Amino acid sequence: MSFPSTIDRLEAAKRQFDPSTAKLLTTVGRQKFSDPSALIRFHEALLFFRAYPANEEIRRLATALLASFQERIAKLADLDPFEEPDVSGISGTAFSAIFTYDIARWLASRHPRRVDIDWDSTDPTLLGPLLRRLHPYFNEDLLVEANIPYMDWFRAAKKGRGTDLQWLISRIEEFPIPIEDRAELFAAAKIAIHWNLGHGPMTRSDIDLPGARMYFYHDGPLLRRTDVSLATELESAKIPTKKLSRAHGEQFLDLARETSAMRYRELHGFTYGDPSHVIHAELGRGVEVFVAGVPTEHRLPLRTYHSGMYFKNGIPIGYIECLTLFDRMEVGFNLYYTFREGETAWLYGRLLHLFRQLVGVNYFAVDPYQIGLHNQEAIDSGAFWFYRKLGFRPTDPKVAKLLASEEKKLRADPNYRTRPSTLRRLAAGWMIYETAGAKPGKYDDFEVRRLAMRRSL
C-alpha cells in the first residue's frame, strides 16, 4: 500500500462516518513522515475527526495522534510549508507575522519566552520614527546621513535584559503620547513577530475549549445544504443563552485572540472584546458559540458590533463578525479551512438565528468580499452559490440580471458550472436575505459607508 493512498483514504473517510475509520487512523499513525505536505494533510484530517467523530474511540485516537505532532515535526528538515496561513499553528512549529500593536503587546505578555521580533523579516529602515524616541542622539544620523545603521542604533538604545520585543513595548508604553499614536508608530515600523509555538494548549493540534461537555458523535452523513431551510431555521424555537462572568469572558477572549493570531488573523471584537459582555449558547450537534461585544471606547460610530467564535466538540472551527444598523445586519462568516465540509449551511443558519434573537434584525447582508470581490478563496469555493441557495439575492440590478441568466442555464443543464470569470461579476455587489415580514427591497440601495461619508462633524 503506497503512503499517499492511505492519506487519500483517510480524507475520504471524513464523509463516510464508518466506525472502522479507527483502524485506518491507527495504520496511518504508524507511518513515518518525511513529506511535509503529507504530514499536514494527516494533521488536518485528524483535526476534522476530533471535531466530527463517529464515536468515542475515533475522537480519543485523533486526540492522541495530534499530541504526537511535536515529535513528528522535529524529524523534518523543511518546516517552511507549516508557515502557510491555512495550516499555521501546528504543534512544534513557528511562524512570523505582522500584528497590530495591541496584539503584539498581548502576545509578548502572554508568551514572553516564545515571542520576539523577527529581524530577518523586518526592514530596519522603517524604525526611524521609533528610534527618534528611543535614543536621544539618533538625530545625529537621521538628519544628515544617507546610510544609517538602524540596527546598531537599536542595540545602542536597548538597556537591560529581556527580549527585543518586550523591551520595545515597555519603552513605547512610556512614550508621552496617546495610545492611538503609539499604535501608529508601531504599525509604521512593520515589525514582524516570530512566535515559536512549541507544544501545549495554545497550538491548533492541542487547543481545546475548557470545561466538561457531552460529545456529539456522527453516526450518519453530515447535514447537507439541501437539508437546511434558512426560513424555517429563523422561525424555530429560541436558543437558550447564558451570560458569562467577567473572568470566564476574559478566558474566552484570550482563547479567541490566540486561536486567531496563530492563523495570522486579528478581529476587532477579539482584540478589544468586552469580557463583561460575553454570551454563551449551545446550538446543538456539539456546537457552542461565544458572542462578545466591545466597550464604549472601541465601538464603531454608527453600527453595533458583535463578534463570535464557535466550537465543535470543544474545537474552534470558525468565527463570525456582525455589524448592525437599524434592523439590518452585515454578516462576516468564516469557517476554518479544515472544517469546510462540516455542515456549513446548518451552522450558518443556527448562527443567524442566534443573532436575530439577540439583536432583533430582519435583514441579513453579505458584502461583496465575502462572495468573491478581491477574494480568490471565495471564488474557488463558489461562495456566491452558497448564499444564493440559502435564499440570499443580489441587490444590484445588473448582478440580478446576470444571476437570472446563470440560473436559466442551470435549469437547462444540471451539470452546468458557473465559470470563475462569471463568479467575479456576480460578486460585484451586496447580497441580502429578507426574513418573513420584512419589506422587500428596503435596503437595496443602502450602504453604511455612503451614509457615513455624507455625515459632517
Give the Cα separation of 135 and 114 in Å (integer).
Answer: 27
Residues 192 and 136 in one domain: yes
**Within a domain: 75:** yes
**Within a domain: 207:** no
Residues 355 and 233 in one domain: yes
Residues 124 and 48 in one domain: no
Looking at 313, 335, 361, which one is the last position of a domain? Answer: 361
Looking at 58, 83, 108, which one is the last position of a domain? Answer: 83
Residues 435 and 335 in one domain: no
Let me know: does 7 contact 28? Beta carbons within 8 Å: yes
Q: Which contacts (CB < 8 Å, 24+ apart) does range 174-181 have?
A: 175/133
Residues 392 and 348 in one domain: no
Residues 293 and 380 in one domain: no
Give the Cα separation of 168 and 135 in Å (integer).
Answer: 12
**Within a domain: 39:** yes
**Within a domain: 204:** no
Residues 419 and 287 in one domain: no
**Within a domain: 395:** yes
Give the Cα separation of 161 and 173 in Å (integer).
Answer: 17
Residues 347 and 274 in one domain: yes
Provide CB contacts within 8 A for 54, sequence distance 6+.
17, 18, 19, 21, 217, 218, 219
Predicted confidence at residue 20, as pLDDT, reads 81
**Within a domain: 206:** no
Predicted confidence at residue 456, as pLDDT, reads 58
Here the cell at position 259 is 486561536
Residues 225 and 357 in one domain: yes
Predicted confidence at residue 200, as pLDDT, reads 78
Q: Is 367 left (phi over 0), alpha (psi -120 to 50) or beta?
A: beta
**Within a domain: 188:** yes
CATH number at residue 55: 1.20.930
pLDDT digit string, tens, across residues 376-427? 999 999 999 999 999 999 999 999 999 999 999 999 999 999 999 999 999 9
Domain total of the chain: 4
Residues 235 and 135 in one domain: no
Here the cell at position 342 is 462540516
Intervals of the chain under pLDDT 50: 1-4
Predicted confidence at residue 146, as pLDDT, reads 85
Residues 47 and 102 in one domain: no
pTM: 0.94
- 245 burial (CB, 10 Å; 0-12 / 13-18 / 19+) is exposed
Q: Residue 50 is part of which domain span?
A: 3-83
pLDDT digit string, tens, across residues 222-264? 999 999 999 999 999 999 999 999 999 999 999 999 999 999 9
Q: What are the C-alpha distances in Å from 456 to residues 297, 301, 451?
A: 21, 12, 10
Looking at 361, 387, 403, which one is the last position of a domain? Answer: 361
Predicted confidence at residue 232, as pLDDT, reads 97
Residues 288 and 357 in one domain: yes
**Within a domain: 68:** yes
Cell 442566534 -> residue: 354
